[in-house]
Structure 1
């Protein structure tokens, strides 16, 4: 089990009041609200960073190989998917 250690966060008075009001409205403690907020922030930002890394890898792959699909090819494929057709993505080419 991971050890739980406290972390201090300095909040301005307006933010503290908002936090307290939300905690009361949700019948939760401010501590619980903060833990949830941090967990959701980390989940979102980790996904964003993974997406950014995948984009950088895709760009590096493109720079090495030159393989790509055109906008028109991708748009036509997406239109077919949108209409309910099951189809393979277009082939990458130079």
Structure 2
């Protein structure tokens, strides 16, 4: 896919400078930046969808954990007395 991107002079200059410092092409720098952005935004959207599904499940069932229950479980991680995950309840 061939795509052109219009950049202001300041940003283009910054990209060229970074490319020189990294001994890469400006094209490589831009491609990596776009790839990183897409990966980050896909992860953000996945998290958002998971949160919406969790909220919907809570609304349907009322099952949940309190913050204190989660905190107690997380505090046990890595200790000799590491606890099993708590059971959800209504």
TM-score of the superposed pair, with normalisation by structure 2: 0.94
Give unpaired runs (5+ residues) of structure 2. Answer: none
Give unpaired runs (5+ residues) of structure 1. Answer: none
1:5-40 CA-to-partner distances (Å, cap 9, x unmatched) read 111111100000000000000111100111111111
User: 1:23 aligns to what?
Assistant: 19
Residue 88 of structure 1 deviates from its aligned partner by: 1.3
| Secondary structure of the structure 1 residue equivalent to 2:77 | helix
User: 1:69 aligns to what?
Assistant: 65
Rounded to whole Å, the distance in 2 between the matches of 1:71 and 1:87 is: 16
The runs of at least 4 aligned residues of structure 1 exceeding 6 Å deviation read none
The CA RMSD measured in Å over matched residues stands at 1.1
Residue 52 (str. 1) matches residue 48 (str. 2): yes
Rounded to whole Å, the distance in 2 between the matches of 1:31 and 1:84 is: 51
Residue 9 (str. 1) matches residue 1 (str. 2): no
